[in-house]
Structure 1
Amino acid sequence: MAHGQTAPGIVSGRLSSDEIAQNFSDLHPAYEPHEAAVAADRCYFCYDAPCQVACPTDIDIPMFIRQIQAGNPEGAAQTILNQNILGGMCARVCPTETLCEEACVRETAEGKPVEIGRLQRYATDTVMAAGIHPFERAAPTGKSVAVVGAGPAGLACAHRLAMLGHDVVIHEARGKSGGLNEFGIAAYKTTDNFAEAEVDWLLKIGGITIETGSALGQGITLDGLRESHDAVFLSIGLTGVNALRAAGEDKAGVRDAVEFIAELRQAGDLSALPVGRNVVVIGGGMTAVDAAVQSKLLGAENVTIAYRRDRDAMGASRFEQDLATSKGVKIMFNVQPVAVHGNGAAAEIELEYTSGSGGDLTGTGETVRLPADQVFKAIGQTLEGAPEGLALDGRKIAVTGPGRTSVAGIWAGGDCAAGGDDLTVTAVAEGRDAAMDIHASLSA
């Protein structure tokens, strides 16, 4: 059964189109101009700016907020986009509550930070809505760079290189650009096809060609790219899926959460998307929360996130956890899957309670069964198809400095590269910094 969608209990049409539209409306509605002005007035414009220190892309946050306060959102956008060309998406999906906003002095003093993420969105949305691309391409250098993967790292790298005058060809395995921004983030965080619109806007810099349906091992090779280009940047992401290592995980109704989210993001009619009545998501990161919340929004009656460690170890932020519970999702801690039961298709999942001490996780032998006609695996992804000849650090591509791999002329960044957090904003920073290093190398 494809994806378990024909399994009993997994059906479409649990909610009407109107209910679906309401459920998947914008999580953080955009500011009106007067709202942005009021929010900007709360900023203390700190000299040492702990918010900026906490930003992986080092955006001058006090500066752009002051520009909004002064009625200059276009200038604010320039300040943001200088550091983070995908500032519009990051404003929507970045875990600001654990980065810049957590460091905000207002948060420390009052428990209510300046809403930096929404202010950033206000500024970047303003320039995009006006069709403004505030960057000009430098004179052509005659150099060309191949970028493999059109996700956040690849796009950020390509834009910076193009802006510096290099020609860039992006090879993207899927039929559409954007990477996780397009395929891997909850639909209620990025409404109105924003990811696609942002890519179209980014390409206005010129000098970037995207070839979709093009992947390493499928028409192109790393050696071939090295021969035909002056440098190569790898941002191939993580496409492998960890196994549950639980009996019955091959039953219909058990599938990868990332695959489910991608299908949901590309669906033309969400009311036609099948979802179970009783859904259990295994994992504790953002993907687990996105899969669980969206299952609930599609009409699943009972949705549970089952995480093997305690709350403090959970990868998803407390904000994301609270968001899930506010939508009716139950979160179980210290449980791990033992078996999926059912006659051909999932009907129940058996979970074992765990005990963690000194970092070690052990099963207690005590188990509980939950009804589950749909089980999503959100337990992390692995690197598949790493080019031969590149040194690895653990299970990712080893890099030094701004993305240099063990092979001269090849850089890497984003989720496929070792180090850093698997966040859109981190990927953007890595792509941008690798581009600057590539530029320096090509200009030497």
Structure 2
Amino acid sequence: MSQARLSPGIRAGRLTQAEIAANFADVAPPLDRHEAQVAADRCYFCHDAPCITACPTAIDIPLFIRQIATGTPDAAAMTIFHANILGGMCARVCPTENLCEGACVRMEAEGDPVRIGALQRFATDGLMAQQGHPFRRADPTGRRIAVVGAGPAGLSCAHRLAAKGHEVVIFEARAKPGGLNEYGIASYKTVDGFAQAEVEWLLGIGGITIRTGQALGGDLTLTALAAEYDAVFLGVGLGAVNRLRLEAEDAGNIRDAVDFIAELRQASDLLSLPIGRDVVVIGGGMTAVDAAVQARLLGAENVTIVYRRAREMMGASQHEQDHATRSGVRIIAGATPVAVIAADGRVETVEFAHTAVTDGRIQPTGTGFRLKADQVFKAIGQRLDMALDGLDIDAGGKIAVTGPGRTGIDGVWAGGDCAAGGDDLTVTAVAQGRDAAEDIDARLMGRPVEIPG
């Protein structure tokens, strides 16, 4: 982006180093042993546990909490990792209020669920801090599998396949593995380089090679991978961001929210990141909230999220919405952008129209408003950014799959955000990668597939 096209209101160093450090500290500090014991003692250990059903990876939650309660947190961690090898990250970023904790019996009875996410972090962090990897590979099978994408789905798939004795090569387009966990999640949720530490820990099982800077297209094609490897798993995510389709959308101070978050996550000095005084974020999902909150934490004075539907329809959970408003972010629902007013290649104002839903369709009401903006972040959804040789794409723009990630091409599987049926959550991507690995192994080894959970 040309610095000449940036608004004068966008600048670095709005806060002090001490303020930045405080703002980007761990948003949910870990439990100590006593706190974990107290939290675990609140669990009813339900036999027909709704929390398990609500977990996309079907972790046996009552079992691991009982193991913590009886003083065996390492056993609890193994219970978690057998179902979800990225259980450490999921403990930090899962919308537990919509999943396991939202289904907790105590939530229904008292409005205060067992702190399942915090207990999961307590157990997994403890085991990951120890020497060595807790899983051991089976005897080598001589089979080789290509995994495209080192995000949650690809890493989960690779680890499960490696554990079964297969050799796995992961092709990753970016400079670092981790995908969404490394580049797309708010920094205050995963402090101290946890995303990369988790990848290094996962690779400790052996049998997995990662080749970075390798994207599909050019010399690396799906056809070539399918010919060279015994199976291929696609976990390529969604690399392109939807457009507003408005004039002046390409002005210098309008950018994709995912790029802003990725830049922030990779910055060695947050004080060096320029941020506007008046920031507008368009969208209503987790990306919108993460971008808006971090803009405030960098020192933006006025940050507004604008979402086209009713607030209860936002993709971001109520917990995340509340966190945003506590951080000083204003949320305006029921409005859509209709014009970008720019001068000298820089946005100055965004015009919005109030909306109403008529026959299931969003329509402008004829009234509206304008917001001053020296910086605008777009968070209106993502899509595939590559052509994939011969794969069927569904009406939603994702790879069509059946069962545990089987695509229309024999020997090719897909999972995570790029595949149909997902809900753009790390935990769902982990489950899809894991289940595809089980199916790949069963196909290669000639036995019935057994999907965990």
TM-score category of the 2 structures, normalised to the smaller one: over 0.9
Q: Which residue identity lines up with residue 100 of structure 1 in the other structure?
A: C
> Which deviates more, 332-341 or 355-364?
355-364
Q: Partner of 2:346: helix, strand, or coil?
A: coil
Asked if 1:361 is matched to 2:362, the reply is yes
Aligned to 1:429: 431
Asked if 1:381 is matched to 2:382, the reply is yes
Question: Offset of 1:294 from its aligned partner?
Answer: 0.3
Q: Partners of 1:5 and 1:442 in 2: how far apart?
A: 55
Inter-CA distance 103–132: structure 2 relative to 1 (3 Å threshold): farther
Inter-CA distance 32–5: structure 2 relative to 1 (3 Å threshold): farther
Tell me if the contact between 2:132 and 2:204 (Cα under 8 Å) persists in the aligned partners: no
Q: Scaled by the length of structure 1, what TM-score is found?
A: 0.99
Q: Partners of 1:352 and 1:52 in 2: how far apart?
A: 42
Q: Partners of 1:382 and 1:309 in 2: how far apart?
A: 20
Aligned to 1:202: 202
Q: Partner of 1:347: helix, strand, or coil?
A: strand
> Which deviates more, 412-421 or 149-158?
412-421
Question: Offset of 1:420 from its aligned partner?
Answer: 2.2
Q: Partner of 2:370: helix, strand, or coil?
A: strand
Q: Partners of 1:202 and 1:135 in 2: how far apart?
A: 9
The aligned runs of 1:91-170 (5 Å cut-off) are: 91-170=91-170
Q: Partners of 2:23 and 2:205 in 1: how far apart?
A: 36
Q: Partner of 1:205: helix, strand, or coil?
A: coil
CA RMSD of aligned residues (A): 1.1
Tell me if the contact between 1:8 and 1:345 (Cα under 8 Å) persists in the aligned partners: no
Q: Which residue identity lines up with residue 296 of structure 2 in the other structure?
A: K
Q: Which residue identity lines up with residue 313 of structure 1 in the other structure?
A: M
Superposed structure 1 runs of 4+ greater than 2 Å apart: 1-7
> Which deviates more, 298-307 or 381-390?
381-390
Tell me if the contact between 2:68 and 2:123 (Cα under 8 Å) persists in the aligned partners: yes
Tell me if the contact between 1:149 and 1:236 (Cα under 8 Å) persists in the aligned partners: yes
Tell me if the contact between 1:4 and 1:253 (Cα under 8 Å) persists in the aligned partners: no
Asked if 1:212 is matched to 2:212, the reply is yes
Question: Offset of 1:353 from its aligned partner?
Answer: 0.7
Question: Offset of 1:384 from its aligned partner?
Answer: 1.5
Tell me if the contact between 1:226 and 1:232 (Cα under 8 Å) persists in the aligned partners: yes
The aligned runs of 1:172-251 (5 Å cut-off) are: 172-251=172-251
Inter-CA distance 379–356: structure 2 relative to 1 (3 Å threshold): same
Inter-CA distance 405–234: structure 2 relative to 1 (3 Å threshold): same
Task: Give the length in aligned residue pairs.
Answer: 444
The aligned runs of 1:288-437 (5 Å cut-off) are: 288-343=288-343, 344-394=345-395, 395-437=397-439
Tell me if the contact between 1:337 and 1:350 (Cα under 8 Å) persists in the aligned partners: yes
Q: Partners of 1:359 and 1:275 in 2: how far apart?
A: 37
Inter-CA distance 405–352: structure 2 relative to 1 (3 Å threshold): same
**Deviations 1:71-107 (Å, cap 9, x if unpaired)?**
1111000000000000000000000000000000010
Inter-CA distance 116–3: structure 2 relative to 1 (3 Å threshold): farther
Question: Offset of 1:391 from its aligned partner?
Answer: 1.1
**Deviations 1:178-203 (Å, cap 9, x if unpaired)?**
00000000001000010000000000
Q: Partners of 1:159 and 1:386 in 2: how far apart?
A: 27
Tell me if the contact between 1:350 and 1:369 (Cα under 8 Å) persists in the aligned partners: yes
Question: Offset of 1:4 from its aligned partner?
Answer: 8.0
**Deviations 1:44-92 (Å, cap 9, x if unpaired)?**
0000000001000000000000000111111000000000000000000
Q: Partners of 1:3 and 1:425 in 2: how far apart?
A: 38
> Which deviates more, 343-352 or 286-295?
343-352
Tell me if the contact between 1:148 and 1:171 (Cα under 8 Å) persists in the aligned partners: yes
Q: Partners of 1:132 and 1:334 in 2: how far apart?
A: 52
Q: Which residue identity lines up with residue 419 of structure 2 in the other structure?
A: A
Question: Offset of 1:3 from its aligned partner?
Answer: 8.0
Inter-CA distance 27–158: structure 2 relative to 1 (3 Å threshold): same
Aligned to 2:441: 439
Question: Offset of 1:252 from its aligned partner?
Answer: 1.3
Q: Partners of 1:207 and 1:418 in 2: how far apart?
A: 29
Q: Partners of 2:337 and 2:237 in 1: how far apart?
A: 27
Tell me if the contact between 2:275 and 2:299 (Cα under 8 Å) persists in the aligned partners: yes
Inter-CA distance 311–3: structure 2 relative to 1 (3 Å threshold): farther
Tell me if the contact between 1:4 and 1:255 (Cα under 8 Å) persists in the aligned partners: no
Q: Scaled by the length of structure 2, what TM-score is found?
A: 0.97
Contiguous gaps of at least 5 residues in structure 2: 447-453
Q: Partners of 1:187 and 1:238 in 2: how far apart?
A: 20
Tell me if the contact between 2:6 and 2:346 (Cα under 8 Å) persists in the aligned partners: no
Question: Offset of 1:6 from its aligned partner?
Answer: 3.5
**Deviations 1:249-296 (Å, cap 9, x if unpaired)?**
111110000000000000001111111000000000000000000000
Q: Partners of 1:270 and 1:214 in 2: how far apart?
A: 29
**Deviations 1:354-411 (Å, cap 9, x if unpaired)?**
1113321101121211110000000000112131211111211110000000000000
Q: Partners of 1:218 and 1:436 in 2: how far apart?
A: 30
Asked if 1:77 is matched to 2:77, the reply is yes
Contiguous gaps of at least 5 residues in structure 1: none
Inter-CA distance 104–220: structure 2 relative to 1 (3 Å threshold): same
> Which deviates more, 8-17 or 130-139?
130-139
Q: Partner of 1:419: helix, strand, or coil?
A: coil
Inter-CA distance 174–4: structure 2 relative to 1 (3 Å threshold): farther
Tell me if the contact between 2:142 and 2:166 (Cα under 8 Å) persists in the aligned partners: yes
> Which deviates more, 352-361 or 153-162?
352-361
Q: Partner of 1:38: helix, strand, or coil?
A: helix
Q: Partners of 1:340 and 1:227 in 2: how far apart?
A: 48
Aligned to 2:45: 45
Inter-CA distance 244–118: structure 2 relative to 1 (3 Å threshold): same
